[in-house]
Amino acid sequence: MNKNLRKIAYILLTFGALFIIATISINSILKNKLEKFIQERLPENMVRSYDDITVESFGGSLLVTNASLTIKNKEDGINHTFINVEKLKISDISYWDYLLNDEIHVEAISLENPKIVYFEDKLKRSKDTVRQAVARIYKPITVNRVHIKNTKLAIYEKGEDSLKIYSAGFTLEVNEVKVDNGTVLQKIPFEYKDFEAKSDTVFVKVSPYENLTVEDLSIENGNALFKNLKLKTKYSKKELSRIIPKERDHYDLSLESLSIDGFDFGFKQNRFFAKSKQVTLAHPSLEIYRDKLVADDPKIKPLYSKMLRDLPFELTVDSLKISDAKIIYEEREKQENMGGSINFKNMNVAISNVSNTYNSPENTNLKITADFMDKTPISAEWTFDVQNKNDQFIFKAEVGPLDADRMNSFTQPNLKVKLEGHTNKTYFTIDGNSENSKTDLKINYSDFKITVLQKDGKKKNEFLSAITDIFISKNSKKNDDYYRENTAQATRDKTKSVFNFLWISVKNALVKTML
């Protein structure tokens, strides 16, 4: 090898060695600065640890393995949040933006297999009304993509049955995240363009009595899909009646899917909002059981218009659809039996303007079709204005042919009344508000008979049955196209449900028409 080639080789080796030394030195310096930042810049109530930090200075990336963060109260030092991450990787940090634009710009941040445990009852909330920043931000931070893979999340509350929220296999990707000293003061302490999320299992304790589970969850491009959703009372009917101090329904709801299309949410001037173009519930099956032997709940039950109007956040759903639903309602009135039931099948509901943001005279409209007691077609239309403080509403319905004895599964155990005969067609319109209602009803029926039963629900009460025979017309009239018509008033019992108000409105009109 000649002298020139030897010199070139020495120079290249020297530069290579210097480059390697410089890289190692820079990596070491950056690693030390990062460790110093973690130790000094994070708030004192956040305890952090990790196994190792690997820095690639020229690639602009770093990797933290087995990182953990414990957050405690500043006042009493009690730990309330625990976070562990197998791998935290930050890729493609832009030195150019850091040096010239005085901001931190990162291409991607990924967290692998994080585990998050939060004890809600241990968090001591500050009484200061001025919102404090979650952390101090020295330079604005922009991240093109944040990817959190395979997360396990558990939130606990006080008490024996303490698990409040649980999720496994949760994956989240958020695009164009921005954080600065302005965003950290917001309720959502960062801004973002969009996000996608998936999860295998979700559990939510809705109340001390009901749990919600979802087998599969996915959110993408402003659309959300929840599959195999179940809302169930965690106690048996008998056990629930034993432990509740006041009347409460026992629920068993299964839903094939719940889709939310074109949704958005966030905060406007610290007030939460949620909106969607369309919400669809596919093939819900709902069983409700109410034990009327338990003490009544004297709490005021608002009508739906008031419930929407008084929500603590802004809700805007342009359209809500329920397809092919099945509802079974069971009620127990007497100690000597387990009650009776009524059912609705093949129910389809279309609701427009489920919202408290529309202005009068924009109405919320419900259109309902179903088969009542297996065979009787029912169609109804329900209209109200959420902004109307009197909670004015119109409920119109058309009921097809009904064999009266199909109602005996409900009336015999609960009302001690046995029905016979046929109603061929029934129309009614309820014009109501938060105080009272007026119901116009017309009905065509034939061979109608009411038998009042004794306390055992089996033997006929001869005296009361004879009285009903005298006062109740057995037929609307000989010819089939004649309707008996009448109008009746009803006063709302505000401690009862919305459907109780509809029922007593129809019942009063039905009794007045047939007498």
pLDDT digits (tens, 9 = 90+) for 449-463: 766 656 655 666 554
Task: Judge whether 229 lies within some domain.
Answer: no
- Does 467 have pLDDT greater than 70? no
pLDDT digits (tens, 9 = 90+) for 24-69: 444 444 445 555 555 555 677 777 887 887 777 656 677 888 988 8
- One domain, residues 37 and 141: no
- Determine the Cα–Cα distance for residues 322 and 296; give it in Å rounded to an integer: 31
Going by pLDDT thresholds of 50, 70 and 90, the confidence category of residue 10 is very low
- One domain, residues 394 and 495: yes
- One domain, residues 103 and 89: yes
Going by pLDDT thresholds of 50, 70 and 90, the confidence category of residue 83 is very high
Task: Judge whether 314 lies within some domain.
Answer: yes
- Tracing tokens 């404090």 back to the chain, one arrives at 132
Domain that includes residue 14, residue range: 1-41
Task: Judge whether 238 lies within some domain.
Answer: no
- One domain, residues 194 and 265: no
- Determine the Cα–Cα distance for residues 282 and 452; give it in Å rounded to an integer: 41
- Does 485 have pLDDT greater than 70? yes
- Does 112 have pLDDT greater than 50? yes
Q: Give the model's pLDDT for residue 21.
A: 44
Question: Domain count of the chain?
Answer: 3
Question: Parallel, antiparallel, or unpaired for β 484-491 and 393-399?
Answer: unpaired
Task: Judge whether 215 lies within some domain.
Answer: no
pLDDT digits (tens, 9 = 90+) for 398-419: 999 988 777 666 665 555 566 6
Asked if 148 and 109 count as a contact pair (C-beta separation under 8 A), the reply is: no
For residues 59-85, average pLDDT: 86
DSSP 3-state assignment of 397?
strand
Tell me the average pLDDT of the chain. 83
Q: Give the model's pLDDT for residue 31.
A: 47
DSSP 3-state assignment of 503?
helix
- Does 128 have pLDDT greater than 50? yes
Q: Which of 179, 205, 231 is the last residue of a domain?
A: 205
Task: Judge whether 493 lies within some domain.
Answer: yes
Q: Give the model's pLDDT for residue 475.
A: 60
Task: Judge whether 97 lies within some domain.
Answer: yes
- One domain, residues 21 and 161: no
Residue 147 bridge partners (DSSP): 110, 173
- One domain, residues 62 and 17: no
CA angle, corner 324, sides to 323 and 325, nearest 5?
A: 95
In the chain, the percentage of residues whose pLDDT exceeds 90 is 48
- Higher confidence at residue 75 or residue 246? 246
For residues 268-296, average pLDDT: 93
- One domain, residues 34 and 62: no
**Taking Cα atoms as reference points, which of 407, 417, 409, 410 lies closest to residue 445?**
407
Asked if 173 and 147 count as a contact pair (C-beta separation under 8 A), the reply is: yes
Task: Judge whether 249 lies within some domain.
Answer: yes
DSSP 3-state assignment of 402?
strand
Query: Which of these ranges, 211-215, 236-240, 305-309, 400-404, has the smallest mean pLDDT?
Result: 400-404
- Determine the Cα–Cα distance for residues 107 and 94; give it in Å rounded to an integer: 8
pLDDT digits (tens, 9 = 90+) for 345-398: 999 999 999 999 998 889 999 999 999 988 899 999 999 999 999 999 999 999
Q: Which of 175, 205, 235 is the last residue of a domain?
A: 205
Task: State the CB neighbour count (10 A cutoff) for residue 415.
Answer: 17
- One domain, residues 129 and 20: no
Q: Give the model's pLDDT for residue 220.
A: 93
Residue 364 bridge partners (DSSP): 384
- One domain, residues 32 and 47: no
In the chain, the percentage of residues whose pLDDT exceeds 70 is 77
pTM of the prediction? 0.84
- Higher confidence at residue 440 or residue 123? 440
- One domain, residues 150 and 108: yes
- Determine the Cα–Cα distance for residues 331 and 381; give it in Å rounded to an integer: 25
- One domain, residues 166 and 273: no
**Taking Cα atoms as reference points, which of 237, 232, 279 lies closest to residue 254?**
232
For residues 205-217, average pLDDT: 95
Asked if 91 and 61 count as a contact pair (C-beta separation under 8 A), the reply is: yes
- One domain, residues 27 and 120: no
- Which tokens go with 166? 């649980």
Task: Judge whether 200 lies within some domain.
Answer: yes
Q: Which of 205, 228, 254 is the last residue of a domain?
A: 205
